[in-house]
Amino acid sequence: MNATLTALTAREILDSRGNPTVEVDCTLACGIKARAAVPSGASTGSREAVELRDGDARRFGGKGVLKAIGHVNEVLAPQLLGRDAREQAAIDAAMIALDGSDNKAKLGANALLGVSLAVARAAAAACDLPLYQYLGGPGATRLPVPHMNILNGGVHAHWQGADFQEFMIAPLGAPTMREAVRWGAEVYHALQAILQARGLSVGVGDEGGFAPQVQSNEQPLELIAQAIEKAGLRPGADVAIAIDPASSEFFEDGRYYNLRTEKRRLEAPEMVEYYARLVQAHPIVLLEDGMAEDDWAGWKALNQALGESIELVGDDIFCTNPAIIARGIEENIANSVLIKLNQIGTLTETIAANRLARDHGWGAFVSHRSGETVDSFIADLTVALDTGHLKTGAPARGERVEKYNQLMRIEQELGSAAHYAGRGAYVRAPCF
């Protein structure tokens, strides 16, 4: 098929929080059309690629993306039309050169990413391949452990609950992706029943998790363990727990971790001890963003304390940026990196970040954002990159569930070739 780009058209759509985001349609000479939508974060790292917003208070409180839309239609499209969509690296490099900034501030990472993903999806269709196989080759057969954010706090709950932002369940003992999703959904409903019985709120946060007013950051772990048991499963053996405190959000004065829920402020060594106690007491398999993005000394201490026991994932500190990840590897501050497409702005750079981490024995953990769409690109990406695990919210809300549904479709399509990552997904796999 003729995979020449003949049209690139962007539009402004709404994400799951009611904020504008970028959607791009790509058309090839052979008649194939593909579409991609760009996610948006709430808890963001300061070194993320720039998500270009209009700043016009008269539209969407300044959050409009018409500038980014214009950059796709008027700057990127004229320079890219006529290229072969299968030349992903060259197309991404051309867009980066057109932007010319260090952080994609000129044209906007949201503009570049929309084009990058739409082109990849169109190229896959032109090759008559599913997206995961086009990106990952014939060896892309491993389904990831889904990390379902079933209890929210921090920014995602608008500071109405725990200080920690995400409490996730990881059904690592399931035999298949389909069963993993079922287990997760059943634990989610069991937790809802427990919260209701205690008179706690079952309203949900941005990612579908419940956001009750708890007394500490440990109480959610206790509630989740009870929910796992109520669902007839074993904490740790069948379903483990992962946490993302998003600690940059409660790091103050360059020194203190302010745990508002518990009315205390901890310095880095005390925060490390706090996590160590939680890991010893609960079936925690993964800790993301345990320390703040600028607290490199704290990260190093955390890795020394827990890096041989569980997976320690850096998000805000790395921002899916290969240059920063390389420094983290050199200084030995973690053992895994979070992979978010819109933190860096192109598919090619995202793949490079994953490859760098994996080549050095680190884990890679693919992630959605708090502002999502029904685009399921990251489901295919996770299988393609063979990261073994991803997080994309609770088993609730259409924009979250669509990723899990896509993974079940992929499993069915692979048939006997499919296998579930399970405990092998983790760069560190503690026994419970």
pLDDT tens profile 27-73: 999 999 999 999 998 656 678 899 999 999 999 999 999 999 999 99
CB-hemisphere CA count at 13 Å for 143? 29
Q: Where are the alpha helices (DSSP H) in 282-414?
A: 296-306, 322-331, 341-344, 347-359, 377-385, 398-414
207 is catalytic: yes
* DSSP assignments along 43-56, one per residue: S--TTSPP------
Burial class of 30 by CB neighbour count within 10 A (0 to 12, 13 to 18, 19+): middle
User: CA-to-CA distance for 63 and 162, rounded, in angstroms?
Assistant: 28
Q: pTM of this prediction?
A: 0.96
pLDDT tens profile 160-199: 789 999 999 999 999 999 999 999 999 999 999 999 999 9
Residues of the chain with pLDDT under 70: 42-45, 156-157, 159
349 is catalytic: no
Unique residue bearing structure tokens 């929309």: 114
User: CA-to-CA distance for 208 and 168, rounded, in angstroms?
Assistant: 11
Unique residue bearing structure tokens 């980014």: 68
Q: What is the pLDDT of residue 156?
A: 62
Q: Which of 186, 207, 293, 411 is catalytic?
A: 207
Residues 4/77, Cβ–Cβ less than 8 Å = no
Q: What is the pLDDT of residue 155?
A: 74
Residue type, 172: L
- At 375 the three-state DSSP class reads coil
Q: What is the pLDDT of residue 160?
A: 74
Q: What is the pLDDT of residue 93?
A: 98
CA quadruple 359, 360, 362, 366: dihedral sign = negative
Q: Which helix (H) or strand (E) holds 162?
A: none
User: CA-to-CA distance for 408 and 387, rounded, in angstroms?
Assistant: 16
Q: What is the pLDDT of residue 412?
A: 98
Residue type, 366: V
CA quadruple 394, 400, 402, 407: dihedral sign = negative
pLDDT tens profile 81-95: 999 999 999 999 999
How many other C-beta atoms can be found within 10 angstroms of the C-beta atom of residue 185? 19
What's the first-to-final CA gap in the chain, in angstroms? 52
Residues 299/333, Cβ–Cβ less than 8 Å = yes
Give the alpha-carbon dihedral of 347, 115, 110, 359, to 10 degrees.
Answer: 0
Q: Which of 340, 372, 391, 399 is catalytic?
A: 340
